[in-house]
C-alpha cells in the first residue's frame, strides 16, 4: 500500500495526534502507522517504532477487517457523564465497540465503534466494513455490520 505521508513524530505526541486526525479528515478512512525501516505497523499511533526508528508513515487500513472481540457499553442515563462515555457516544447508548484486525494489516488491532453489531460472542470472527466519521475535531472509527461478509 502507498503511504499517506510522514507522521509528525518529531513534533511530539500532541501535534502527531492533530496530524492523525487531519489525515483521517482528508482521506475519510481509518489509518495506521507503519515503520519505514522495518515495516512494523501500529495503532494507536506512537512516536517511535520498537526498532528505534522515528520514520513512521500513515497508511490506509483498507476497507475491511475481522472482529476479534466485542465490548458492550450500557450506562444508565443519569450516570452517562463525559467522564464515563465519550461525548460523541452519549446519544448512542447502549453501544458496542469492537477490536478489529484489518484484512490488509493482520498484525494490527484497532478499536472501532460498531454500527449494527450487537454485544454477542457470535460477532467474533465476522468481517466488517471499516470507515471513519469526522465531526469538528472528533474522529470516530466505525465498523459497519450491514455489509458483513461470511468468512
Residues that bind Zn ion (CB under 5 A): 35, 37-38, 40, 49, 51, 53
Instruction: Report in angstroms how near the CB of residue 39 gets to Zn ion at its nearest.
Output: 7
Closer to Zn ion by Cβ: residue 59 or 97: 59
Tell me the three cell numbers of residue 108. 494490527
Instruction: Report in angstroms how near the CB of residue 103 gets to Zn ion at its nearest.
Output: 22
Q: What 3-state class would DSSP assign to 25?
A: helix
Whether the CB-CB separation of 60 and 103 falls below 8 Å is answered with no
* β-bridge mates for residue 6, sequence order: 57
Closer to Zn ion by Cβ: residue 38 or 71: 38
Whether the CB-CB separation of 98 and 117 falls below 8 Å is answered with yes
CA-based torsion, 144, 100, 103, 122: positive or negative: negative
Instruction: Report in angstroms how near the CB of residue 47 gets to Zn ion at its nearest.
Output: 12
Closer to Zn ion by Cβ: residue 36 or 68: 36
Amino acid at each position: 500500500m502507498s503511504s499517506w505521508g510522514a507522521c509528525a513524530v518529531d513534533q511530539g505526541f500532541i501535534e502527531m495526534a492533530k496530524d492523525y486526525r487531519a489525515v483521517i479528515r482528508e482521506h475519510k478512512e481509518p489509518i495506521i502507522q507503519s515503520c519505514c525501516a522495518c515495516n512494523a505497523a501500529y495503532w494507536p499511533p506512537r512516536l517511535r517504532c520498537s526498532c528505534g526508528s522515528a520514520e513512521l508513515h500513515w497508511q490506509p487500513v483498507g476497507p475491511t477487517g475481522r472482529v476479534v472481540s466485542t465490548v458492550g457499553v450500557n450506562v444508565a442515563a443519569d450516570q452517562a457523564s463525559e467522564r464515563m462515555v465519550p461525548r460523541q457516544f452519549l446519544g448512542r447508548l447502549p453501544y458496542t465497540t469492537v477490536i478489529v484486525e484489518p484484512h490488509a494489516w493482520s498484525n494490527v488491532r484497532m478499536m472501532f465503534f460498531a454500527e449494527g453489531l450487537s454485544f454477542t460472542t457470535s460477532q467474533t470472527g465476522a468481517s466488517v466494513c471499516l470507515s471513519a466519521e469526522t465531526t469538528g475535531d472528533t474522529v470516530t472509527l466505525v465498523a459497519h455490520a450491514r455489509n458483513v461478509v461470511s468468512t
